[in-house]
């Protein structure tokens, strides 16, 4: 079995897609937010690897091709943004201030939590990119000399939480305006959050898409500054 997996070009992709399909089915049948398709897919994939004894490197050698779709998928998010261009132009100042506030909040929170839990410099800088898309976060973590694998994990967890709880948090906090909802989710939960924002509405999806790029650029500049604090 292990030899088959190691030599297969399709095992990782097949397992990932099958696990995600089960997640979608569970979400539709049970209609509970905890059965998020991505969360279910991650749990099933990890379980399958542990039970079969297949090493992650063997699985990733064929599953890595899925990651090649990340960049074009992110670029495609510009389509709903283009469709809401007039709304963007009308609320430009509020949108930029909102994204900047979210980025500052994220960086400051990491700084304060690092002080509270007495994290070292490298652990601290590893977590600074947690709220931006993986493509930017990996490069930033490498530039700051953080632990890239932990950075990726923190980005995934942040995005997954935003995807599951973003809508709920907006309701609890009384955030009703579609522009504000999109900006909040996109700035804090990058692409995974944007997937949820697109389900909430076209405006939310467009604003969340914009937030991914702008928040990413702001975080790069902010993280370089914040990295000197500890």
pLDDT, one tens digit per residue, over 127-155 is 999 999 888 898 899 999 999 989 988 99
Alpha helices, DSSP H only, in 173-228? Answer: 178-200, 202-226
Q: Do 113 and 142 reside in the same domain of the chain?
A: yes
List Cβ neighbours of 12 (8 Å cut-off, separation of 6 or more).
59, 60, 61, 62, 63, 64, 65, 66
Q: Do 63 and 81 reside in the same domain of the chain?
A: no
Q: Do 99 and 197 reside in the same domain of the chain?
A: yes
- Res 5: pLDDT: 62
Q: Do 82 and 63 reside in the same domain of the chain?
A: no
- Res 202: pLDDT: 86
Q: Do 28 and 120 reside in the same domain of the chain?
A: no
- 21, 45, 67 - which closes a domain: 67
pLDDT, one tens digit per residue, over 205-223 is 888 988 988 898 899 999 9
| Listed residue (217, 220, 180) closest to 200, CA to CA | 180
Residue 33 included in any domain: yes
Residue 137 included in any domain: yes
Percent of the chain with pLDDT over 90: 42
List Cβ neighbours of 193 (8 Å cut-off, separation of 6 or more).
159, 162, 163, 166, 185, 186, 208
- 43, 67, 91 - which closes a domain: 67
Q: Do 106 and 183 reside in the same domain of the chain?
A: yes
**Domain encompassing residue 186:** 77-226
Residue 72 included in any domain: no
Q: Do 111 and 200 reside in the same domain of the chain?
A: yes
Burial per residue of 135-167, b for 16 or more beta-carbon CB atoms within 10 angstroms, e otherwise:
bbbbebbeebebebeebbebbbebbbbbbbbbb
Residue 29 included in any domain: yes
Residue 150 included in any domain: yes
Residue 187 included in any domain: yes
- Res 4: pLDDT: 64
pLDDT, one tens digit per residue, over 96-123 is 999 999 999 999 999 999 999 999 999 9
Q: Do 168 and 203 reside in the same domain of the chain?
A: yes
Number of structural domains found in the chain: 2
pLDDT at 72 over 70: yes
- Res 196: pLDDT: 87
Q: Do 87 and 127 reside in the same domain of the chain?
A: yes
Residue 111 included in any domain: yes
pLDDT, one tens digit per residue, over 166-186 is 888 999 999 999 999 999 999
pTM of the model: 0.80
Computed over every residue of the chain, the mean pLDDT equals: 87
- 67, 99, 114 - which closes a domain: 67
Residue 178 included in any domain: yes
pLDDT at 49 over 80: yes
Q: Do 109 and 182 reside in the same domain of the chain?
A: yes
pLDDT at 83 over 80: no
Confidence of residue 84 (pLDDT cuts 50, 70, 90): confident
Q: Do 97 and 164 reside in the same domain of the chain?
A: yes
Q: Do 192 and 211 reside in the same domain of the chain?
A: yes
- Answer for the pair 158, 188: CB distance below 8 angstroms, yes or no: yes
pLDDT at 157 over 80: yes
Q: Which two structure tokens, joined as six digits, stand for 99? A: 């994204």
């Amino acid at each position: 079995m292990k030899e088959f997996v190691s030599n297969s070009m399709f095992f990782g992709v097949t397992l990932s897609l099958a696990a995600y399909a089960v997640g979608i089915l569970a979400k539709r049948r049970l209609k509970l937010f905890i059965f998020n398709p991505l969360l279910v897919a991650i749990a099933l994939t990890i379980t399958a690897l542990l039970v079969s004894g297949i090493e992650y490197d063997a699985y990733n050698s064929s599953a890595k091709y899925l990651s090649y779709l990340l960049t074009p998928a992110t670029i495609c998010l510009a389509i709903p943004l283009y469709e809401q261009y007039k709304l963007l132009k009308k609320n430009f100042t509020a949108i930029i201030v909102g994204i900047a506030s979210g980025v500052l909040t994220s960086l400051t929170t990491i700084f304060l939590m690092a002080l509270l839990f007495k994290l070292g410099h490298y652990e601290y800088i590893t977590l600074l990119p947690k709220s931006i898309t993986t493509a930017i976060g990996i490069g930033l973590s490498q530039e700051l000399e953080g632990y890239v694998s932990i950075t990726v994990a923190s980005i995934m967890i942040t995005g997954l939480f935003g995807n599951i709880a973003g809508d709920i948090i907006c309701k609890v906090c009384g955030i009703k305006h579609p522009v504000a909802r999109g900006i909040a989710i996109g700035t804090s939960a990058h692409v995974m959050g944007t997937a949820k924002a697109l389900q909430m509405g076209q405006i939310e999806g467009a604003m969340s898409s914009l937030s991914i790029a702008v928040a990413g650029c702001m975080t790069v500049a902010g993280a370089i500054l914040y990295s000197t604090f500890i």
